Amino acid sequence: MTQLAELFKCALDMCLPDSVVVLGVAGGNGLEHMDYLVTTRIVGVDINVRYLEKVEQRFGKRVGLELHCHDLAESPLRLAPAPLVHAALVL
């Protein structure tokens, strides 16, 4: 497990969020550790559509996955609130 995925898992285990936003989701590092019975809404945001396609390929069958191709430096993204926002190496 990569260190970032490990940190993400720690945050998930501590917060047990019903929804989570992952800024700079890249290829979905750490999403494999999600308990999909606990976290039923997963929002991934990235500027790179190819990364989002990878996430879709890997995790698209899970219910509750929302992917947004968006430049966070350009404009804010309006999303329903989530108790956990994970932003590893993106800000």
Ligand X SMILES: C[S@@+](CC[C@H](N)C(=O)[O-])C[C@H]1O[C@@H](n2cnc3c(N)ncnc32)[C@H](O)[C@@H]1O
Residues near ligand X (CB under 6 A): 4, 24, 26, 29-30, 45-48, 51, 71-73, 88-90
- Smaller CB separation from ligand X, 16 or 87: 87
Q: Is 26 helix (H, G, I), strand (E, B) or coil?
A: coil
The strand pair at 84-86 and 41-46 is best described as unpaired
- Smaller CB separation from ligand X, 15 or 72: 72
Query: Which two tokens mark 74?
Result: 């350009």
Q: Would you call 71 exposed, middle or buried from its count of C-beta atoms within 10 A (0-12, 13-18, 19+)?
A: exposed
Task: Please report how close the Cβ of residue 18 comes to ligand X at its closest, in angstroms.
Answer: 21
Task: Give 42's strand partners.
Answer: 20, 65
- Smaller CB separation from ligand X, 73 or 80: 73
For ligand X, which residue has the nearest CB? 24
- Smaller CB separation from ligand X, 20 or 26: 26
Task: Please report how close the Cβ of residue 28 comes to ligand X at its closest, in angstroms.
Answer: 8
DSSP element (H, E) containing 53: helix 49-59
